[in-house]
Amino acid sequence: MSKTIAINAGSSSLKWQLYVMPEETVVAKGIVERIGLNDSIFTIKYGEDQKYETIVDIADHDVAVKMLLDQLIDLKILASYDEITGVGHRVVHGGEFYDRSVIIDDEVLKNIEDLAEFAPLHNPANAMGIKAFKHLLPEIISVAVFDTAFHATMPEVSYLYSLPREYYEDFKVRKYGFHGTSHQFVAQRAAEMLGKPIEETKIITCHLGNGASITAVDGGISVDTSMGFTPLAGVTMGTRAGDIDASTLPFLMEKLDLNINEMVDTLNKKSGLLGLSGISSDMRDLEANSDKPEVRVTLDIFADRIRKYIGSYVTVLNGVDAIVFTAGIGENDAAIREQIINGMSWFGCEIDPEQNAKRGEDTVISTPESKIKVFMIPTDEELVIARDVEALRS
């Protein structure tokens, strides 16, 4: 039986999902947390709500991967290492090198490591995961699936910043965009729900999770997206500021006696929903406190920024067939979806409250009369990884 494992490696974690392919059935999934620290947490979920959990010290990603594969054999989820026929890795930054998923050879691995300059928190961790699997399964194909790849098709007019051109030429400073796997997946699904070939569709995808980004997809191709050189740009996020006037930085650095790293840390970790509300970065906490004035305005700002991106992308696309909501907030928060869309009635966009209250499955949440369709589509980045491995394996 052919089994593919989809990996999302962080600096101290390894999230994974094991598929039987080409059936696309998930047979087990889990996470190893606190790698390199004391009391690492190792969890496998499998079968009918069965769970294996242990707390031991796991020194590094190599140890984590060996423990994972051996435990899968112990639990009889795998017969042997040989049953794994492909490993897919989520890689955050592919720079200008990759506009699609690729088989990882030495050159690809080196490029991923070199791109650490652009994604210092993510690419080195992704590379650790890749190397750990390569050590244990040297003969098995491994594939890199990049967060940036879907956006590599953006035209110059979208990806160039209005900075001296040599900053792009010399240092590759430009918009890259992220969450590409998710935007691509839900755009494809939305085209199916529209009943049209994706080449004939104009879709705006809203990935609203802890990190959030909006993408304009024209004929299946990303033509603009709200995140930028890093995932700090765009709409208001859990702890990230999104777009702000760059001149606020030197002003605040002087007032607060902060250096540039402290300032950027504030923009990444103490801003957004957390900074505005003073309560939490988690949307569930904010919804539970929405009667508080500072929380109400936080929610209003979140919806406002998303609505403004959608409005500008209607212009970029010169029309739109469907708007899609996905990820933690986009899939679960009916109130925010309604607030965003209710401000767009002029476009002919109308939410159906009954449909909008539904959870779980792909759902049309606009009224039958709505000129623009609005969809809620659960994203599945792991499945895209497994599919890309399967496609490159054959």
Q: Which of 284, 288, 297, 300 is the binder for ligand AMP (CB under 6 A)?
A: 284
Output the 3-class SS for 52-69. Answer: EEEEECCCCHHHHHHHHH
Shortest approach of ligand AMP to residue 254 CB, angstroms? 33
Judged by CB under 6 A, the stretch of 125-133, 222-230, 295-303, 329-337 that binds ligand AMP is 329-337
- Of 223-242, which residues contact ligand AMP (CB under 6 A)? 238
Nearest to ligand AMP of 99, 285 (CB atom): 285
- The string over 44-68, giving b where at least 16 C-beta atoms fall within 10 Å of a residue's C-beta and e elsewhere, is bebeeeeebeeeeebeebbbbbebb
Stretch that binds ligand AMP, among 95-103, 134-142, 323-331, 385-393 (CB under 6 A): 323-331
CA–CA dist 305, 302 (Å, integer): 6
Stretch of 243-251, 257-265, 307-315, 321-329 lying at the interface with ligand AMP (CB under 6 A): 321-329
Ramachandran region, residue 278 (left: φ > 0; alpha: ψ -120 to 50; beta: rest):
left
Among 111, 126, 332, 339, indicate the residue that binds ligand AMP (CB under 6 A): 332
Rule CB under 6 A: say whether 282 interacts with ligand AMP. Answer: yes
Write 333-338 long-range contacts (CB < 8 A, 24+): 333/208, 333/283, 333/287, 335/287, 335/290, 336/208, 336/283, 336/299, 336/302, 336/303, 337/365, 337/374, 337/376
Residue 220 marked ligand-binding: no
Strands 3-9 and 84-91: parallel
358 binds ligand AMP (CB under 6 A): no
Task: Output the DSSP codes for 344-375.
Answer: TGGGT--B-HHHHT--SS-EE-B-TT-SSEEE
User: Does 331 count as an annotated binding residue?
Assistant: yes
Binders of ligand AMP: how many residues, by CB under 6 A?
A: 12
232, 327, 344, 377: residue in contact with ligand AMP (rule CB under 6 A): 327
Beta carbons of 88 and 388 less than 8 angstroms apart: yes
Instruction: Determine the residue type at 344.
Output: M
147 included as an active-site residue: yes
Least distance in Å: CB of 228 to ligand AMP?
19
Q: Is 305 annotated as a binding residue?
A: no
Segment (H or E) for 72: helix 61-74
Question: Does residue 182 belong to the site contacting ligand AMP (CB under 6 A)?
Answer: no
**147 lines the binding site for ligand AMP (CB under 6 A):** no
Any contact of residue 328 with ligand AMP (CB under 6 A)?
Answer: yes
| Annotated binding-site residue numbers for substrate | 90
Binding residues for ATP: 15, 207-211, 282-284, 328-332
Annotated catalytic residues are 147
Q: Which residues bind ligand AMP (CB under 6 A)?
A: 209-210, 238, 282-284, 287, 327-329, 332-333
